[in-house]
Amino acid sequence: MAKIEIYTWSTCPFCVRAKKLLDRKGAQYTEYVITGDDAARAKMIERTGGPKSVPQIFIDDKHIGGCDDLHELDYDGKLKDMIA
């Protein structure tokens, strides 16, 4: 199974949407809720190479992007193989 990490804010609707997709796929993931945590947000930005919005998603340490990027991978049929 792939190592999936997702950086979120507690009130972010895009974060909820991304997690729901992962849940529907049966994927296990580590969630980092960075609401109000400047150090955690700085680490996320360092890992992404610049993007500051949430969610930010990594699969096997590869930066996937945000919610729309995750859904695009699913639409294209690529997500299943990435998280298997």
Q: What's the pLDDT tens digit per position in 4-61?
A: 999 999 999 999 999 999 999 999 999 999 999 999 999 999 999 999 999 999 999 9
DSSP letter string, 22-67: HHHTT---EEEE-TT-HHHHHHHHHHHTS--SS-EEEETTEEEESH
Using alpha carbons only, give the angle 84, 79, 47 rounded to the nearest 5 degrees. Answer: 95
- Domain of residue 27 covers 4-83
Number of structural domains in the chain: 1
pLDDT digits (tens, 9 = 90+) for 59-84: 999 999 999 999 999 999 999 999 98
CATH number at residue 76: 3.40.30.10
